[in-house]
Amino acid sequence: MSDLVPDKAGLEAILDYYVEAGVDLALDEEPHDRFVETALPPPAPIVRREEIAPREPADAPPPRALPQAAVAPEEAAVQARELARHARSLEELETILAAFEGCSLKSSAKNLVFADGTPQSRVMLVGEAPGADEDRIGKPFVGRSGQLLDRMLAAIGLDRAEVYIANVVPWRPPGNRTPTPQEVAICKPFIARQIELAKPDFLICLGGPAAQNLLNLKEGILRTRGRWFSYRTDEGREIRALATLHPAYLLRQPLQKRLAWRDFLALRRALDGETGTGE
């Protein structure tokens, strides 16, 4: 073998190096400009705006997301809004989301991570985006931070099966990077509709990104956690919303668990019907 081509041991050493560095996904050898590649012919919109009636009758089939190579992010966000607002049940929303091709995260993810738990629960918890374990299994919060979340819930007498859990972004960003503002904007109509359809009494935003994106907060999570906010659905329903620390952050900063404990106690009190606004 030539000096330039690594042998088996050399290739294994390169792979080990990548794994150590956190590279766990091979996307492609070359960068692609998908917008240029798909410039001609223009991609067909998933749903044309003028074709959308205000609300479909109950027995009409859900709108279909047509397969697309790539859609400009602004157009994808418009399509996401139209598709999401037509979903009449959580099952339908999941089906629509599974067929949606407007978010590029879908192409690198193994699974759609839609939700776990009981959709009729009074409590809905929303995180930022799935990680590697969630992507593999197709359920939110099943990895290390999910196990901590389970213990936090158990500490206030709740089982994960009796709450409803989802994420702002339902596909894993490659390498667990933070979802881009565009990816969040495209996925936001779906989580907004998911909250609207689940109709929880209490919405718990896990971590700064979920709190900022769902509650339109500008301040960081250490300032907003423990405070009750009002989340207003598109249909005008008010839901009490609480921001708290993300379990992944608590795994890195265990001393901060005392703050999360206060937040979860505030949730417990609210569930028990006690009035008050947290701290």
Which region, judged by CB under 6 A, interacts with ligand URA, from 1-9, 14-22, 133-141, 227-235? Answer: 133-141
Is-contact 168 184, C-beta < 8 A?
yes
**Residue whose CB is nearest to ligand URA in the complex, by number:** 127
Burial of 74 (0-12, 13-18, 19+ CB in 10 A): exposed
79, 104, 121, 145: which one contacts ligand URA (CB under 6 A)? 145
Instruction: Confirm if 195 and 141 have CB atoms less than 8 A apart.
Output: no
- Do the beta carbons of residue 59 and residue 168 sit within 8 Å? no
Select the residue interacting with ligand URA from 100, 141, 231, 249 (CB under 6 A): 141
Structural tokens at position 185 = 């904007």
Copy the structure tokens of residue 226: 């423990």
Which string of DSSP letters, residue by residue, matches 112-137? ----EE-TT-SEEEEES---HHHHHH
- Which CB sits closer to ligand URA, 93 or 113? 113
Contact 68, 46 (CB under 8 A): yes
In the list 63, 102, 117, 130, the residue contacting ligand URA (rule: CB under 6 A) is: 130
Within 12-31, which residues bind ligand URA (CB under 6 A)? none
Residue type, 269: R
- The footprint of ligand URA on residues 229-258 (CB under 6 A) is 248
Written as six digits, the tokens of 277 are: 């606004």
Task: Choose the binding region for ligand URA from 33-41, 137-145, 155-163, 196-204 (rule: CB under 6 A).
Answer: 137-145
Which stretch in 56-64, 91-99, 122-130, 250-258 sits in contact with ligand URA by CB under 6 A? Answer: 122-130
Positions in 172-231 near ligand URA (CB under 6 A): none
User: Site residues (CB under 6 A) for ligand URA?
Assistant: 127-131, 134, 140-141, 145-146, 167, 248
